[in-house]
Amino acid sequence: MLGDRWIYDRVPTERFPNYTRGNAGEVLADPVSPIGWTFCCEPGMVRGCVDGFEQMGVFDALEYDAEWPETFGLFGGYFYNSLAQSRLFGIRSGAGWEAIDNTFFDTESQDIPPYVAADWHDSPRHTQKLQQTIGWCLSTPNVPEIDRHKDEVKALRDSRPDLTTLTDVQLVARARTMQRFLRATFSQVVWGALGSSIGNGILPTLLGDSDPGAMSKLITGIGGVDSTDIANRIFQLSRRVNASSELQAAFAAGVDGAFERIAASGSDDATAFTAAVEEFMYEHGSRGPNEYDPFSWSYESKPLLLAQAVEKVRSAGDDADPERAQAAGSAERQRLIEHYSELFKDNPEALGMFHAAVNSLAVFMSARERCKGNHIRVVGEVREAFLELGRRAHAAGHIAHERQVFMLLADEVDAWIADPASLTATLAERETDYLSLYELEPPYIVDTTVPPLSAWPRKDSLTAEQVQVGDVLKGVAGSPGVVTGTARILSDLDDADKLDPGDILIAESTDPSWTPLFLAAGGVITNIGAVGTHAVIVSRELGIPCVPSIADATRRIPDGATITLDGSVGTVTIDALA
């Protein structure tokens, strides 16, 4: 029975006492599975974050707890950012802890833990190294380490043997091999996040308020965004289907099994389409909903996800072609660069800072997405190895279904391999408790102590003040443009059929599995997120307006309302209620 503390939750420490869900929900929005946290996150992203911060000059590794580094929190199975860690980054970088708070909270946020100074917080040595790091980020034309990691993780995929031929012990050994790559790739995620934040911090001061949409336009159409390639490929697959009566018939017979029917055909259209699907799976098969967690399905582990995406995009017109939108965004971005270069020509300092900021955005916005993609590829290799173990255990009657294998803790894996029946009851009970965590609303802030799970409200009991006609909701200026349309509240991808072309998609947050819906949507609103989150980055590249960080948008805005979304200034106006 679920107790007041989840089995692998962390405990706040004296040095790092407070945590927030701010800027965390998009990474691991749902409770993290036992294998996801103990096998992937603890040795991967937690340790990788230590490495990345030490390399940049933010911290020394010894400033963290040696056994359980406090880079992130996990409470009730939910992922948290360390507020104390983030504030120290602000202090040591010279930006100040207040600047960090402004990225997490608005002026009316819940009780924000006060900053409490300590002697070890100020560190001239770290400040000096951080300034050097920031200078490098503003001047480098590329980040070769990230591209090298992409080649390395592709090699992991290329080296994957036929997993059905491996013994159980060999499958576990392969999965464990991935842990060092999880650590290395996440250290680069930290670099990508830092680099993309620098330009975002500089440009608003330089640009002023004369053109509210300029900032978002300058980070539109950058190109080279790996997650946008998902949209490009799915769009092209949908055009192949629409252009072939044979492929249309295969999808009309049912999305489930469409790929198999097409592959069995042998016609030229079918062969070309199947080859394109296989290429997609090679490039993006590890992506999917809640993709940081191996418990979640990916395109590769559940190809139906891709078939459903292609079917959804088939209804979009040719004007939704992502390449057109990217070209238009790139042209507008170049126009603005030329405009501000002319404006600053008599101010060499401002001109140099402007070009440095624009350069860092061009380099690190795409680098940030590539870092994430690299990490997810490695998670995908862990997922496939454990799914093979799960299929075998299910066939032998040891677990109820293949994904129950992800209910194991990392330190239980070897004992389970030796005697799978010994944990059958434990894994079944743990899965019941784990799934019940999805029903709880995690506290936005944890300060020193974690409320017992029995005190967490259920999500279905939460309410929010409903909007009225004429209300203007303020979020973050994400992707430029203005659109008026029908609000569609989507709690998850199972609601995708509710979205018609031109509707405004409203979700708590999004990840690459939502990208096909962007091709049909007129605009996007999310409850959480900032200028570097998935919804914003992909919206910009696809040329549709986006406003993130509209608090409780999914509960405040009624489904079917007519709303106007202005992504250039970050507002949502309620025009009419349903």
pLDDT in tens, 11-46: 999 999 999 887 776 667 679 999 999 999 999 999
Residue with tokens 């990474």: 27
Domain boundary among 323, 352, 368: 323
pLDDT at 371 over 70: yes
| Residues whose CB falls within 8 Å of the CB of residue 383, separated by 6 or more in sequence, listed in order | 286, 294, 298, 301
For the segment 172-191, the average pLDDT, to the nearest whole number, is 96
User: What pLDDT does 541 receive?
Assistant: 81
Q: What is the share, in percent, of the chain residues with pLDDT greater than 70? A: 98
Domain boundary among 323, 341, 359: 323
User: What pLDDT does 26 receive?
Assistant: 64
Structure confidence by residue, pLDDT tens digits, 279-307: 999 999 999 888 999 999 999 999 999 99
| The Cα angle at residue 258 between residues 282 and 161, in degrees rounded to 5 | 30
pLDDT at 516 over 60: yes
Is 318 part of any domain? yes
Given a contact cutoff of 8 angstroms between Cβ atoms, the answer to whether 299 and 285 are in contact is: yes
Distances (CA, A) of 323 to 9, 359, 364, 540: 44, 22, 21, 12
Question: What is the rounded CA–CA span in Å between residue 539 and residue 335?
Answer: 20
Residue 516 amino acid letter: P
Is 444 part of any domain? no
Question: What is the rounded CA–CA span in Å between residue 202 and residue 358?
Answer: 9
- Domain containing 495 equals 472-576
Is 90 part of any domain? no
Q: Which residues pair with 320 in a beta bridge?
A: none
Catalogue the E-assigned strands of 254-330.
none
| Residues whose CB falls within 8 Å of the CB of residue 82, separated by 6 or more in sequence, listed in order | 16, 18, 19, 70, 71, 72, 73
Distances (CA, A) of 142 to 53, 133, 371, 412, 430: 20, 14, 13, 42, 45
Identify which has the larger pLDDT, 464 or 571.
571
Catalogue the E-assigned strands of 476-538.
482-489, 504-507, 523-526
The two structure tokens encoding residue 566: 């202005």
For the segment 179-188, the average pLDDT, to the nearest whole number, is 96
Q: What is the share, in percent, of the chain residues with pLDDT greater than 90? A: 69
Residue among 495, 487, 497 nearest 553 (CA): 487
Is 529 part of any domain? yes
Structure confidence by residue, pLDDT tens digits, 471-508: 999 988 888 899 999 999 998 887 888 998 899 999 98
Domain boundary among 304, 323, 342: 323
For the segment 242-256, the average pLDDT, to the nearest whole number, is 97
For the segment 350-357, the average pLDDT, to the nearest whole number, is 94
At 223, the pLDDT band (50, 70, 90 cuts) reads confident
Residue with tokens 């990508």: 192
User: What pLDDT does 147 receive?
Assistant: 87
Torsions phi, psi for 483 (to 5 deg): -145, 145
The two structure tokens encoding residue 96: 């100040």
**Radius of gyration of the chain, Cα coordinates, nearest whole angstrom:** 24
Residue 8 amino acid letter: Y
User: What pLDDT does 107 receive?
Assistant: 45
User: What pLDDT does 444 receive?
Assistant: 87
Residue among 546, 551, 549, 521 nearest 536 (CA): 546
CATH of the domain at 534: 3.50.30.10
pLDDT at 106 over 80: no
- Residue ranges of alpha helices (H) inside 344-468 are 348-395, 413-418, 424-437
Is 553 part of any domain? yes
pLDDT at 540 over 60: yes
Question: What is the rounded CA–CA span in Å between residue 304 and residue 290?
Answer: 16
Domain count within the chain: 2
At 242, the pLDDT band (50, 70, 90 cuts) reads very high
Residue 575 amino acid letter: D
Residue 529 amino acid letter: G
Question: What is the rounded CA–CA span in Å between residue 284 and residue 528?
Answer: 25
Torsions phi, psi for 504 (to 5 deg): -95, 115
Residue among 131, 48, 119, 47 nearest 89 (CA): 131
For the segment 73-78, the average pLDDT, to the nearest whole number, is 96
Please spell the DSSP secondary structure of 66-114, one letter per residue.
Answer: SSS-TTEEEETTEEEEEHHHHHHHHHHHTS-HHHHHHHH--TT-S-PPP
Compute how many other C-beta atoms are within 10 angstroms of the C-beta atom of residue 301.
18
Structure confidence by residue, pLDDT tens digits, 77-91: 999 999 999 999 999
Residue with tokens 């409200």: 457
Structure confidence by residue, pLDDT tens digits, 393-416: 999 999 999 999 999 999 999 999
Is 424 part of any domain? no
Is 154 part of any domain? no
Question: What is the rounded CA–CA span in Å between residue 494 and residue 517?
Answer: 12
Structure confidence by residue, pLDDT tens digits, 439-470: 999 998 999 999 999 999 998 888 888 999 99
| DSSP letter assigned to residue 68 | S
The two structure tokens encoding residue 125: 């040595």
The two structure tokens encoding residue 273: 């389409």
The two structure tokens encoding residue 228: 């946008």
Q: What is the mean pLDDT of the chain?
A: 91
User: What pLDDT does 354 receive?
Assistant: 94
The two structure tokens encoding residue 364: 């690190």
pLDDT at 98 over 90: no
pLDDT at 577 over 70: yes
3-class DSSP state of 525? strand
Is 454 part of any domain? no
pTM above 0.85, yes or no: yes
